[in-house]
Structure 1
């Protein structure tokens, strides 16, 4: 198991304990998967009928993977995305064995309910997302749904009228 995890670190020298735990459960679940010929799973659906699409998603997931590890530890989160300019909405199903909570910086001793409400609050990210319909901005997602890196390509129309690549703290032309 250790060699399998080490081979999948993609050159990363160090990982934290949460990342190791996520990888460990993922690989353990794959090892005891009872589905012999898994099929690809569609995670993105229109937002008009969440019940029908969630039933479809869960049927696909059963055909993709089935294990005792997944049955015990797995959670599915449904994220709804909306584009205000073109008025299109979609939902994305994300399966995870963990619920990462964030500690608000504004409170010295936050309650657990406050940490959870931070995760499930509605977000308005007009500058950080891309709509596949109107294609006004570009955000590049590198990795998986659980572990990823984002790179943004944005055009500054007000000052420079040029495209910039934002990668972590760096801005490049």
Structure 2
């Protein structure tokens, strides 16, 4: 069978016959080849709307997977809607000093704090914060307008660049 597939991630499709690699940033230069392809594999998040909605291409992973998986906040809210009993206790809060202090006062250590992707940095603190009398100081650095934190040390719903973890 001759495949007419295009990939934007060469490493994920190594050794798959009939797959042509195109650099994501050059995809508009290869418009006709992409439009002729039967499948588009591993597009970048910023390519999805053009590929799926403008050019009506079939992509893998699906548009829904890429849209939902791109944002930890959106993914967490979807999990809350579908299976809240399987989501670790999570807070999604504006990154203010008051909220940081509240999290540090109420969440038992260790816990994970994550920055929302592409959030502008409004303030950063690396000041040691004492969690209780006699405890060792914990350096913190939160650099986003919104942050989420979970009581359990599980990072299954949290990944990507720009994340910060407290432990």
Structure 1 or 2: more helix by fraction: 2
TM (norm. structure 1) is 0.24
Higher relative contact order (CA 8 A, sep 6+): 2
Bigger Rg, structure 1 or 2: 2
Whichever structure has more strand as a proportion of its residues is 1
Q: Structure 2 length normalisation: TM-score? A: 0.25
